[in-house]
Amino acid sequence: MIRGFYALLTLCLISMMDELTSLPHPKPIVNGRFARNNKFPFAVAFSMKADLKGEFKYFCGGTLIAQSSKYSWAISAAHCFVDLKNRSLYANIGGGDLANDEATWWKVGKVIQAEFNVFSFHNDIAIVRIEIGHQQVIRTAKEMPLNNTECLIYGYGSSNYRGNSSFSSTLRYGRVSLISHEECEKILGRVIAPTQGIGQFCALGKNGVDACNGDSGSGLICHGRKGRFELVGVTSYGMGCGEGSAGVYESVIHHQNWIDSVFR
């Protein structure tokens, strides 16, 4: 099954079934490392209250890119928020343990989507306002790194979508390298690989590292010119998870004008 479409299916099921049981805790980014608390202070976990017990149900990730005295804004994937207009959404910030009873969840106030195409996954990007200010953010990249640049991905997703939709309660991260459109087509095929020039790119993990179900919306970050990490992409979709499987990411650089327009 195609990652990303799995996320849409999950959200549709949640919207129909408020009696879902709590998700178990293991297995995020495939072959990734556990991230210590606040290693990625800009990392966001989005959840909803989807059962009668009022328990938080994680569904997607995000990355903080702006803040004020009252609000923080995160970039995520648009497909994460399809059919969630009437849901109470919450965000955890800083990459902490989501299973901890003391974990803090902040109210999501607004979701602004680009012109997302649910069939092609074009423009799979959204900006989410969170009701808490003065948070640490990461700057968005202004230039696309070269192919073969080594970057990091992070998230709370599953390590195996085959019959197992469990997400992680702890953040993991792993190293990936940006690859060319041609190489991506060889791995994913022309039907699954993104169309060139529409603002999507591919990355391939080392030692079997890959994003998986539940990592949608989380960031791909690379070192910028000054040596600091910058947000380059948003996890969108892929085909399978793990060894030899490339992930598709929405380019933040491609959407910079749209991002700027949201804050005008």
Tens of pLDDT along 222-240?
999 888 999 999 999 988 7
Q: Which class does domain 2-23+40-130 fall in?
A: mainly beta
The 8-class DSSP code of residue 209 comes to: -
**Fold identical between 2-23+40-130 and 150-253?**
yes
Given a cut of 90, whether residue 202 has pLDDT beyond it is yes
Rounded Cα gap, residues 86 and 247, in angstroms: 30
Q: Which amino acid is present at 26? A: P
pLDDT band for 241, please (50, 70, 90 cuts). Answer: confident
Q: Which amino acid is present at 262? A: V
Q: Note the pLDDT of residue 131.
A: 97
* Cβ atoms of 235 and 218 closer than 8 Å: yes
Distance of CA 249 to the CA centre of its chain: 9
**Mean pLDDT value of segment 12-28:** 34
Q: pLDDT tens across 85-112, in order?
A: 778 999 999 988 898 888 899 999 999 9
Percent of the chain with pLDDT over 90: 61
Question: Global pTM?
Answer: 0.86
* Residue 45, Cβ density class (10 Å: 0-12 exposed, 13-18 middle, ≥19 buried): buried
- With a CB cutoff of 8 Å and minimum separation 6, the contacts of 8 are 79, 82, 118
Given a cut of 50, whether residue 206 has pLDDT beyond it is yes
- With a CB cutoff of 8 Å and minimum separation 6, the contacts of 122 are 116, 195, 198, 199, 200
**Mean pLDDT value of segment 181-210:** 91
Q: Which of 11-15, 135-139, 179-183, 212-216 has the lowest mean pLDDT?
A: 11-15
Q: Which of 53-57, 119-123, 178-182 has the lowest mean pLDDT?
A: 53-57
Q: Where are the domains of the chain?
A: 2-23+40-130, 150-253
Rounded Cα gap, residues 254 and 257, in angstroms: 8
Question: What's the fold here for domain 150-253?
Answer: Thrombin, subunit H (2.40.10)
- 60, 87, 91, 64: which is closest to 75 by C-alpha? 64
Q: Is the dihedral of CA 247, 2, 64, 153 positive or negative?
A: negative
Three-state secondary-structure class, residue 16: helix
Rounded Cα gap, residues 98 and 96, in angstroms: 6
Q: Which amino acid is present at 248? A: V
Q: pLDDT tens across 23-77, in order?
A: 223 334 555 566 777 899 999 999 998 666 778 889 999 999 999 999 999 999 9
